[in-house]
Amino acid sequence: MIRIVALTEAGQRLGQRLVELIVETSSGPAELWYKPKPFQASVQAAFSNGDPLILICATGIAMRTLAPVLQDKHRDPPVLVLDELGQYVIPLLSGHEGGANDWGASIAKLLNAQLVMTTAKPYLRPIYVVGMGCERGCPADHLQELLEHCLQQAGIELAQVAAITSIDVKADEVGLIELAANLHKPYRTFSVAQLNTVESQLSTRSDYIFSVVGVYGVAESAALYDASQLTGDSAELVLNKQKTPRATCSIARSYPKAPVK
């Protein structure tokens, strides 16, 4: 549930407009909180619950309110700050990993507002990589359905995807090979040693998966590793692992290094 928080009458009007726009565009369920009481506890609870937040208030108020419950960029939900007139949209927290940058761009477009980007490299075109894992024999149509769902969630077009990736024990996985071929994408797999180099960036760790293949997460690891290799720079998750009973999928992004001037 997207929580929109307003503290002034003008902010309340903007919040009501946002709820209508978000619902109209099927961007998810949204709810407006006008001067919630107790303010700090209510906003902190929503944040800790993982709810995306749109705070129509000063950035100072937003930061002082959320500071006690911040964890890290891999776990915190996205937070946007808007002025009460709806002229500016600021991705405040979880810009890359939580998707606040892309979400902020969508909200700015809805409001015809200016997106204020403060994170690094917003002017460079990112490279996206899909990581996937699956049970043996998982069919390509099941994998494609999961992939399409993930792309929609992340707001990414298939044309932006550079490759489909997995762990090397899946190098002969027919469904993944067929999926990549159908989509005209390279299919690359990586060793346990290679994938373990990005272990610290995983959003979750599965002891069961580790006991089976030697890494704590196949989809996230493969996406992160390949994205970083393609640009020679660090990568980040734009969509944490999504799963069905038969497969997993994650999307990572990396930016090409800016040219030295």
Specify the CATH architecture of the domain 2-115.
Answer: 3-Layer(aba) Sandwich (3.40)
Do the two domains 2-115 and 127-254 of this chain adopt the same fold?
no
Instruction: Count the Cβ atoms, other than its own, within 10 Å of residue 36.
Output: 17
The domain spans of the chain are 2-115, 127-254
For residues 182 and 142, the answer to whether their CB atoms sit within 8 Å is no
pLDDT given for residue 225 in this prediction: 96
* Residue 174: DSSP 8-state: H
Residue 123 pLDDT:
65
Q: Please count the residues of the chain.
A: 261
pLDDT one-digit tens code per residue, 174-207? 999 999 999 999 999 999 999 999 999 998 899 9
Q: How confident is the model at residue 96 (pLDDT cuts 50, 70, 90)?
A: low
3-state secondary structure of 44: helix
pLDDT tier at 102, thresholds 50, 70, 90:
confident
Per-residue model confidence (pLDDT) at position 261: 43
| Residue 97's pLDDT band (cuts 50, 70, 90) | low
Superfamily of domain 127-254: CobE/GbiG C-terminal domain (3.30.420.180)
Q: How far apart are CA 193 and CA 236, in angstroms?
A: 19
Q: Which own/partner contact pairs does 119-125 have at CB distance under 8 Å and 24+ positions apart?
A: 119/91, 119/95, 121/255, 121/258, 124/255, 124/256, 124/258, 125/255, 125/256
